[in-house]
Amino acid sequence: MYKPALSCLFASLAAGAAVPSPLHLFARDGPAAGTVIQSCAEPGVLALTYDDGPYTNTKALVDILTEAGAKATFFPTGTLYGCIYDRADSVQYAYDAGMQIGSHTWTHPHVGQMGAQQLRDEMTRLEGALVDIIGVKPTYMRPPYLETGGSMPQVMTELGYRIVVNDIDSGDWNGYSPQQSEQQFQMAGAQGNGHIPLMHETYDTTVFTLTPWLIDWASQNNLRLVTVAECVGDTMEGAYAEGTPANRNSC
């Protein structure tokens, strides 16, 4: 879906033309690398996000969203719930459906406590796997545990990532029922700039109960369900850049 942009880049390079770096080519309209994004940049949108996949629910969740004409952003890990290569088809399925694929690190560590080189390794290892699977690397990431301190800003700026946190916590990770999660959205309301919630595709209740409710809630409030990239004024092409493949098929 986004590989034609890469093909144009490679053709220009082969012809000897001067072209910008892949990050600058793709990310002209989005926030600068290292920016911490908490909410959308415009009203009338809602950017659903799902952490910790790929998981057994990924394809079903993509189907629920696609049937409703909705887009969302997935933040997968490399090894949290098994090896990402073992569910490569689920990552590809989400990408092909027009969902945004971001990064949630390789092992889901406490990144705020890591040294710069450890954090680079976490990010570049997942980058390589995603290039192997979908052909590009993300330019958006969500830090595990929403940690943005320590070496995070420096390393994410260096690697070309925008840092996505949230302004609504569904609480699914904390045992909230779907009804309790729904209350978090109702309290936040649909006015002002769009929300970026914290949710996880690893909970059946989030996929099969909360997400359909959110689709209805968004419709009732005239909210478009978009990717994080779109909600901050970026293009979907800007959500990706060229990366170096890991050339692996296992973790």
Exposed, middle or buried: residue 185 (CB in 10 Å: 0-12, 13-18, 19+)?
buried
* Short-list 68, 158, 146, 140, CA closest to 108: 146
Q: Does 200 participate in catalysis according to the annotation?
A: yes
* 96 included as an active-site residue: no
**Which residue is catalytic, options 29, 51, 108, 169?**
51
Catalytic residue among 52, 108, 200, 234: 200
Strand residue runs (E) in the chain: 36-37, 45-46, 49-51, 73-75, 100-101, 137-138, 140-141, 162-164, 168-169, 197-198, 224-225, 240-241
Those residues whose C-beta lies under 8 Å from the C-beta of residue 241, and which sit 6 or more positions away, are 22, 23, 25, 26, 27, 136, 137, 138, 139, 160
* Token pair of 218 as six digits: 């968004």
Catalytic machinery residues = 51, 200
